[in-house]
Amino acid sequence: MSNHLQKPDSGKKLKKLSKKEKLHFITETLENFYPEVPIPLDHKDSYTLLIAVLLSAQCTDERVNKITPSLFAAADNPGDMSQLDASFIEDIIRPCGLSPRKSKAIHELSKILLEKHGGQVPESFEDLEALPGVGHKTASVVMSQAFGHAAFPVDTHIHRLSQRWGLTNGKSVEQTEKDLKNMFPEVLWNKLHLQIIFYGREYCPARGHDLNKCIICKTLNP
């Protein structure tokens, strides 16, 4: 995506931006670079998305996408998944890391979906977060990407960029989520969190960060 660097030069030699200008610059730049943001985890419905997001904890999306075809070939719905042995699930998902914990969670939540939710993924934060292995971030991804509800999932990457860009000084992802929600209009949340992830991977990595290639850091920190 090197053509992104040929976009109009947003390094406007701005010495200091007001908070309003900073937020406008960030959203404008991200929209310019990533007008379309496909969901990075391959899935076909809310259940397969839930499982993929659960697997992505401490694992790259790329690796998850290599594992889920085998898993979903064996079971792609709560009924079939609950019939599998947790050890069978664990063998398939081992490359994703934390396989004992994740396989147990997948097996148990599938049974709970059958017993309590008619085999459907519930469309509420409360019910999602009550499922084994599903924390607030995972629930936020499902609520935003599967059901279209406004949410701002914050992972370690968004937390890091938000600090680097001076959007938060929170020491936790929970505080960062609260700060970002207060700063950006709700209508932007679902798309913006994906745009930040894509931008961070390509231009603002934790290691090997090149200020000359990262137009946001270059402008916000002249």
- For the stretch 118-169, pLDDT in tens is 999 999 999 999 999 999 999 999 999 999 999 999 988 899 999 999 999 8
pLDDT at 157: 86
In the chain, which residues have pLDDT < 70? 1-15, 222
Q: Does domain 46-146 have CATH number 1.10.340.30?
A: yes
- What pLDDT does 7 receive? 43
- pLDDT the model gives residue 17: 81
Active site residues: 137, 155
Q: Which residues contact 56 (CB under 8 A, 6 or more apart)?
A: 41, 64, 96
From the CB of residue 3, how many other CB atoms can be counted at a distance below 10 Å? Answer: 7
pLDDT number for residue 222: 63
Q: What is the pLDDT of residue 6?
A: 40
What local confidence, expressed as pLDDT, does residue 161 receive?
95
Q: Where are the beta strands (DSSP E) in 17-95?
A: none
Question: Percentage of the chain with pLDDT > 70?
Answer: 93
pLDDT of residue 15: 54
Residue 203 has what pLDDT?
95
Decide: 189 and 144 in contact? Cβ < 8 Å.
yes
| pLDDT for residue 171 | 85
Q: Distance (Å, rounded) from C-alpha 145 to C-alpha 25? A: 25
Contact 193/153 with Cβ under 8 angstroms? yes
Give the fold, CATH level 3, of 8-37+152-220: Endonuclease Iii, domain 2 (1.10.1670)
pTM listed for this prediction: 0.87
Q: Are 159 and 120 spatial neighbours (Cβ–Cβ below 8 Å)? A: no
Phi first, then psi: give them for residue 92, nearest 5 degrees.
-70, -40
Domain ranges of the chain: 8-37+152-220, 46-146
